[in-house]
Amino acid sequence: MMKVYDVVIIGGGPAGLSAALYAGRATLSTLLIEKEQVGGQIMMTSEIENYPGCVEEESGATLIDRMKKQAAHFGVETISDEITEVDLSQKVKVLKGQQETYRAKSIIIASGAASKRLGCEGEEQFIGRGVSYCATCDASFFRGLDVFVVGGGDTAVEEALFLTKFARKVSIIHRRDQLRAAKSIQEKAKKNPKIDFMWDSAIESLSGDGILEKMVIKNLKTGEKTEYIASPEDMTFGVFVFVGYAPNTALFKEELELENGYIKADDMMKTSIDGVFAAGDVRVKSLRQVVTAVSDGAIGAVQAEKYIDSLE
C-alpha cells in the first residue's frame, strides 16, 4: 500500500521549509516536494539585511542551507518532483507528480509567487547584480545611487517613494503616458523632488561586466533609444521591476477559493478545504517577505497537526 504522509508540503522556499521544520519536530511524517531548487526566490539574494538575527554577512543560499539542515534533522523527507494534478476532495489528499503519486492527510501549499519579468535582454543575468524585484530587500544597497523603477501601478509608485529614502534619484519608467496608481499615491510621487518620469518607455537591454553598468531605454511612440551608463564614481545603478506577480496556483484554481490568483487563507493558514493550508507568497497577504513566509509556514504546520489530531 502506498504510504500516506501526515503532511505533504508543496514548495521548498522559506515558507515550505519552516512548515517542514515545525511538522517534523512535531513527529509528523512529513514530505517536502520542490520542482526546482529548494530555496525559491530568496536563492537569488546575495545579501540579506532585514531578516531578524542576520547581523553578519548572510545570503539567501546560506540561510536556506541552514533551514534545509534543520528540517532534515527532524526527519523531513525532501523529493524533487513537479506536481501536475491534485485531488483534494477526500480525507486522504492525492498529489500526482511527474515521478510518483503522493498521498497525505494534510497539505501545505507553499508554492510561492514569482515577480513578472520584463523579458528584456540581460535581465536574468543581472538579477541580484543591479536588477531587483523587492525594494524593501535591496534599497539600502543603492544608497546614494541612481535607481530606475519599472511599472505604473500602486506597488511601483509606492516602492519608488520608498526608494527615495536611499537613492540619489529615482526615475519611474512606464509604458504609458500616465500612471495606473491611485491618485493620492501619484500626487505624492509627483511632489517628491527626487522622482522623475520616463513616459511611453521600456527597457530594451541591460549590460555590464559582472554588475549592471549600462541600460538602453526605448521610447515606444517615437522609437528613439536612450543609453544610460553608470558614472565611474558610481560604478553601477539599480533597476527595480514592479510589473506584477504571478502566483503559482494554476494547479488549485478548480479546487480552492482564489483572489486575484492567490489562495485565500485565514490567519490560521486554513483554505476553503479542510486539511489544506496555504503559506507564504502564494496566499493573499499584505507583505511578502522571508520573515512573513516563515511565520506562515510555522502556523500552517501547527494547524495541520491539530487537524490530523482531530481525525483520530
How many Å is the Cα radius of gyration of the chain?
21
* Active-site amino acid positions: 134, 137-138
Distances (CA, A) of 156 to 161, 173, 197: 9, 10, 12
Distance, CA of 109 to CA of 277 (rounded, Å) = 6
Distance, CA of 91 to CA of 105 (rounded, Å) = 6
The residues, ordered by sequence, that sit 6+ positions from 259 with a Cβ below 8 Å of its Cβ are 284
The three three-digit cell numbers of residue 301, written as one number: 504546520
Identity of residue 154:
D
- Collapsed DSSP state (helix, strand, coil) of residue 131: strand
Q: Is 218 exposed, middle or buried (0-12, 13-18, 19+ CB in 10 A)?
A: middle
Distance, CA of 96 to CA of 253 (rounded, Å) = 16
Q: Is 270 left (phi over 0), alpha (psi -120 to 50) or beta?
A: beta
Q: Is 290 exposed, middle or buried (0-12, 13-18, 19+ CB in 10 A)?
A: buried
Per DSSP, 116 falls in state P
The residues, ordered by sequence, that sit 6+ positions from 225 with a Cβ below 8 Å of its Cβ are 204, 216, 217, 218, 219
Helix, strand, coil share of the chain (percent; to 5):
30, 30, 45
* C-alpha distance across the termini of the chain, in Å: 20
Per DSSP, 270 falls in state B
